[in-house]
Amino acid sequence: MVDPLRRVVVCSPRTAGWDKPERAARWEQLGFLHRPDYETAQAQHVEMCRQLEMAGAEVLELPPANEFTLDAVYAHDASLPTDFGLIVMHPGKPNRMAEAQLHLNFFRIMGNLPMLAKITEPASTEAGDMVWLDPKTLLVGNGYRTNPAGIEQMRRALAGRGIEVISAPLPYGSGPSACLHLMSLLSLLDEQTALVDLPWLAVETVQLLEARGYSLIEIDYPERETLACNVLSLGHRRLLALEENARTNAKLRAAGFDVRTFSGSELSINGGGGPTCLTRPVLRS
């Protein structure tokens, strides 16, 4: 999760249909703060992609689909590429279920990532709940988007691959209608450092990170609502963050990280998905 990012899949607001009135009209039921400003969101997405390319990543765009909703811009969640193949998620948010099949179709067209497993009912899983602590350890948040049945299917999918799957309990937070992933509370910055929303992490998760030797940097807590903990590692201590979180970004720079930023007022904060949510890393090396 922290090696240099070489290839990443995204879904722009244009691709997700933010400019289509019938889709934009669903903003409230999908949990957005207000009706999206398409032009602003699209411009912010273009700037994010520019930052990714400047960091050396090849940026691939998902094709448009009638099944997409506004949430499709948060391309991280519907699939999990692994060294052994693609694991197709079964999202816990009903309107996102179609995204998983569309991700699978896209990766099949790419032709270099076979399917390892497909999560099925009664399981629910979203990749925003999945953090690789090291190449052999996958930490999976247990909450409203990923349930115990989903975690067990992940264990079975990775059985025989030498991967330990550890369940991490998530807090109630704002309840089932809000998007609270493990990666909303924890972003790995390098092999030894994590950015955390400490009061919202379970004690056992904090103890696990500390036992594995991670240094923890706490976000500036007034920036919680602007997704301060949602930071994407680009590798070599380079990070991509939202410019709205100036105090947290200053902490990261003081710790020696190169923090690149883009504005996410419409693209990220409105819909609850920061730089990690907006990107589906496919290749790091």
pLDDT digits 0-9 by tens, 211-265: 999 999 999 999 999 999 999 999 999 999 999 999 999 999 999 999 999 999 9
Answer yes or no: is pLDDT of 142 > 90: yes
> pLDDT, tens digit, for every residue of 74-126?
999 999 999 999 999 999 999 999 999 999 999 999 887 899 999 999 999 99
Q: pLDDT category, 272, cuts 50, 70, 90?
A: very high
Q: Give the pLDDT score at 144.
A: 94
Q: Give the pLDDT score at 174.
A: 81
Q: pLDDT category, 175, cuts 50, 70, 90?
A: confident
Separation between Cα atoms, residue 152 and residue 142, nearest integer Å: 11
% of the chain residues with pLDDT over 90 = 95
Q: Which fold has domain 5-284?
A: L-arginine/glycine Amidinotransferase; Chain A (3.75.10)
Answer yes or no: is pLDDT of 70 > 80: yes
Burial of residue 166 (number of CB atoms within 10 Å: 0-12, 13-18, 19+): middle
Q: Give the pLDDT score at 117.
A: 98
Separation between Cα atoms, residue 39 and residue 206, nearest integer Å: 40
% of the chain residues with pLDDT over 70 = 100
Q: pLDDT category, 72, cuts 50, 70, 90?
A: very high
Q: Give the pLDDT score at 176.
A: 79
Separation between Cα atoms, residue 44 and residue 257, nearest integer Å: 23
CB-based contact 162:183 (threshold 8 Å)? no
Q: pLDDT category, 179, cuts 50, 70, 90?
A: confident
For residues 16-31, average pLDDT = 97
Answer yes or no: is pLDDT of 275 > 90: yes
Separation between Cα atoms, residue 128 and residue 77, nearest integer Å: 5
Look up residue 25 and give its DSSP letter: T
Answer yes or no: is pLDDT of 10 > 90: yes
Q: Give the pLDDT score at 178.
A: 76
Q: Give the pLDDT score at 173.
A: 85
Q: pLDDT category, 36, cuts 50, 70, 90?
A: very high
Separation between Cα atoms, residue 110 and residue 13, nearest integer Å: 22
